[in-house]
Amino acid sequence: MLFTELPPLARLEAAREAGFAGIEWLWPYDLDPRAIRREAQAHGLELVQMNSPAGDREAGELGFAAVPGCEARFQDSIRAALEFMREAGCSQLHVVAGRPPQDAKASEVQATYVRNLQWAADLTAVPGLRLVIEPLNTRDVPGYALTTLAHAADVLREVARPNVGLQFDVYHAQIMGGDLTFRLRQYAPLIRHVQISGVPHRNEPDRGEVSFPHLLRTLAEIGYDRWISAEYRPTGSTREGLGWMQAVKPYL
């Protein structure tokens, strides 16, 4: 989402020059994973996270984890993701839940989701490899199987695997109820990854209705010491909007 004015692999050097220490790539599957690894290593970057394959996004697919009847496609997608991660040097996978059929029973969707995540967690139960799930808001992603932090906490409780955690996206969480300070504290033990952006326009994180300094202080107070990902759409060029990074330095 950042540096999209540049060719894909050129974005890594731009990220390093801008002061980032790691990168997150939503769906890198059309690229050579070994080329990503070489570029990341050349610029001292860590490939922190990527998404599991979405399927046919033009047809509305967004993963298969919570889609009854798609278990085989889910397993194939996870195996493909793990192979890509191995070659690219990535350590964390966001497992996208998908859009179940509208007539699917909620209990069946939940059971499918939990079973699939348990299968994926057991397949990836090696040191340094992690899975996360992320609630997405109903305005931007209608029909998605996971929309609230409370539901994510229930899923994680049922999955009961230490290598599966919560991705807390400030943008989605604010739209789906807000109360960010309380909920960061409430779900702190589950949080493995944080994404930031401005709300409501998903632009630079120091713009809009969420107090960016307060958010950073809260993350520090709950002892969060993992990655914070800048997942936003720049208002202009990426470089012109990076002034917000100065506010991050006291918390590093």
In the DSSP assignment, the letter for residue 242 is G
Q: How many CB atoms lie within 10 A of CB 169?
A: 23
**Is 84 within 8 Å of 29 (Cβ atoms)?**
yes
Q: Integer distance in angstroms from the first to the last C-alpha of the chain?
A: 23
Q: Is the pLDDT of residue 107 over 70?
A: yes
Tell me the β-bridge partners of 50: 25, 93
Angle at 77 between CA 75 and CA 79, to 5 degrees: 70
Alpha carbon 100 to chain centroid distance? 20
pLDDT digits (tens, 9 = 90+) for 149-190: 999 999 999 999 999 999 999 999 999 999 999 999 999 999
CA 210/CA 157 separation, integer angstroms: 29
Q: Looking at residue 249, what is its pLDDT?
A: 77
Residue identified by tokens 């139960």 is 125
Among the listed residues 134, 158, 221, 240, the single catalytic one is: 134
CA 195/CA 231 separation, integer angstroms: 6
Confidence of residue 127 (pLDDT cuts 50, 70, 90): confident
Q: Is 231 a catalytic residue?
A: yes
Q: 10-179 architecture in CATH?
A: Alpha-Beta Barrel (3.20)
Among the listed residues 24, 39, 204, 231, the single catalytic one is: 231
pLDDT digits (tens, 9 = 90+) for 24-58: 999 999 999 999 999 999 999 999 999 999 999 98
Q: Is 17 a catalytic residue?
A: no
pLDDT digits (tens, 9 = 90+) for 230-239: 999 999 999 9
In the chain, the amino acid numbered 177 is: G
